[in-house]
Amino acid sequence: MENKNNMKKIGLMMSLYMSLLMSVFMTITGVCTGMLPNVIKGNIPPQALIGSFISGFIISFVISMLIGLIIPMHKVTQAATKNMKPGLGKKCIESLLSDLIYTPLISVMMVAFAYFQNQRSGMPGPPYIVMLIPSLIACFVVGYILIFIFQPIFMRSLIRKYGPGAGPEGGPHIVEPHNKEK
């Protein structure tokens, strides 16, 4: 029973860590591809970047957490790569699957938010699809790299803390040696 609870804890913490990481970097990528050119041209004040980052981060984080809580990523990637030998090829496919699940939804929602913000405020902006394509491409690349590098690091850390051999409160299970009195 405790092992099952620890596995749920690992899944939840993994979702949280990956959501935070992906949200920060996807928002930076989205804001830079979508707004930075307009800031440089003088069409948008630089202060708008901060507001866009904060709102984009919140949207991205909520979507990422929902995906992480709804879709059992470990089971999905394991099922898709069950016939592959462990190694770089398997890791590349697992990262690609995670990226294909997370990135499009996050990018579409963040660009839609930015597009409707522009429309509502009356700022000139390109059509939605023109905003989406560069952001989606950039976010795919950034997302893949982040997943490829950080997912195994986070997983190893969480397994060490909550996996087999971990104590009830996490961390290594330490057995106190018996004191032999003379």
Q: Is residue 177 part of a domain?
A: no
Q: Is residue 29 part of a domain?
A: yes
Q: Is residue 169 part of a domain?
A: no
For every residue of 70-116, DSSP letters joined together read HS-HHHHHHHHTTTSPSSHHHHHHHHHHHHHHHHHHHHHHHHHHHHH
Q: How many domains does the chain have?
A: 1
Give residue 89's pLDDT. Answer: 92
Residues spanned by the domain of 14: 2-162
Q: Is residue 30 part of a domain?
A: yes
Q: Is residue 104 part of a domain?
A: yes
Give residue 121's pLDDT. Answer: 76
Q: Is residue 8 part of a domain?
A: yes
SS3 label, residue 166: strand
Q: Is residue 63 part of a domain?
A: yes
Give residue 71's pLDDT. Answer: 87
Give residue 140's pLDDT. Answer: 94
Q: What is the pLDDT of residues 48-89, one digit of tens each?
A: 788 888 988 999 999 999 998 898 888 888 899 999 999 999
With a CB cutoff of 8 Å and minimum separation 6, the contacts of 11 are 72, 74
Q: Is residue 167 part of a domain?
A: no
Give residue 167's pLDDT. Answer: 54
Q: Please return the burial class of 154, using the count of CB atoms within 10 Å of its CB with bins 0-12, 13-18 and 19+.
A: middle
Place of tokens 């929902």: 66
In angstroms, the CA 1 to CA 36 distance is 51
Residues of the chain short of pLDDT 70, as ranges, are: 1-2, 124, 165-182
Is residue 2 within 8 Å of residue 168, measured between CB atoms? yes
Exposure class string for 95-132: b at 16+ Cβ within 10 A, else e = bbbbbebbbeebbeebbebbbebbeeeeeebeebeebb
